[in-house]
Structure 1
């Protein structure tokens, strides 16, 4: 303290809080959580890694859990944006390809792997008690695809919301518990089985 007061050591200078992008903070938090897990990550860790003050961080996020929720939503959005594009709009095949891609990428994502390994309790409320922002976004996306597929005659009749809910339950099962039962050296078998299951469930 005395050194700083005497001017022999310059104080740490950080960017102005309004100049720090959301992605800078989320990227730093994602790196930490994908390495040491959510429970071991602190707001001080994130602030240090993102080179922002803790005050700035707390103004945007009240706690680590809110950061983790925002990160999972962002990562799902990124995975969805990278889904393979086909020349067959609103078809059952297009929907299945997209869903299998989402499940495969989620299953292999370092953050989800670390959560399952170190912090499974983070997922429990969303699996057993309530839907989170990410699950609602996934459900909305699937329901939209089902509605389009029904309009084109590619997907069986039925309440799109109820069908979407069942499909999402299948997807989460294959993402979270699939690796427990599958041979890790034949991970593609999970994709093949999910594809077959969805085909049988969705076709008219």
Structure 2
């Protein structure tokens, strides 16, 4: 039984355990018993907070996706306006999501887990990403690099664009053709974002 790391919260230890389980066997084959064993906690400890594996995986996705998005945002640099930072961050974010082991595992083995967040409702991670984008858009309005508009609507439009590239890019690429490679489409994404945001 893997002990909980004492320098991390109990929640992080549990989420680390569910991540390891999902990477090993996928969401459908992960059980709360497996997670409890890996985290070094009792099943009742898990049941007090998470009624099932899907709720656990939902919290895991929120943690992982927000970390990917914030990690992709570039540091402020001299001469870079808000639009440049938004575009760089979103393109880097699409690349980071597509390379993330958990994202790849879910897309390959349990893609139906993502459908509610694409077709029916926003999840906690999407709400967090929208808040980050709205802040960045406001900065763009303030420095004049992003065209004036409704902040929340602009943030949602940006998320719609990058979600489509993140989730569906591999259906449109042909890695044997450099003109249709994922790298070529990321160049297109950069152009779309620039045109969407430029005053």
- Asked whether the two chains share a fold, i.e. TM above 0.5, the reply is yes
* Residue equivalent to 2:194: 199
Superposed CA RMSD = 2.1
Q: Structure 1: where are the runs of 5+ without partners?
A: 1-11
* Contact 1:90–1:149 (Cα < 8 Å) also in 2: yes
Is the counterpart of residue 64 in structure 1 residue 64 in structure 2? no
Q: Tell me how far apart the structure 2 counterparts of residues 178 and 68 of structure 1 sit (CA, whole Å).
A: 24
Q: TM-score, normalised by structure 2?
A: 0.87
Q: Tell me how far apart the structure 2 counterparts of residues 106 and 190 of structure 1 sit (CA, whole Å).
A: 15
CA offsets per residue over residues 17-50 of structure 1, 9 Å max, x none? xx96211111111111123211111111111111
Q: Which region of structure 1 is more displaced relative to structure 2, 170-179 or 74-83?
A: 74-83
Q: Structure 2: where are the runs of 5+ without partners?
A: none
Structure with larger Rg: 1
Aligned length: 190
Q: Tell me how far apart the structure 1 counterparts of residues 193 and 40 of structure 2 sit (CA, whole Å).
A: 45
CA offsets per residue over residues 158-187 of structure 1, 9 Å max, x none? 111111111101110000001111134743
**The one of 22, 36, 41 aligned to 1:33:** 22
* Residue equivalent to 1:5: none
Q: Tell me how far apart the structure 1 counterparts of residues 81 and 63 of structure 2 sit (CA, whole Å).
A: 25
Which SS does the other structure have where 2:22 is aligned?
Answer: helix
* Residue equivalent to 2:149: 158
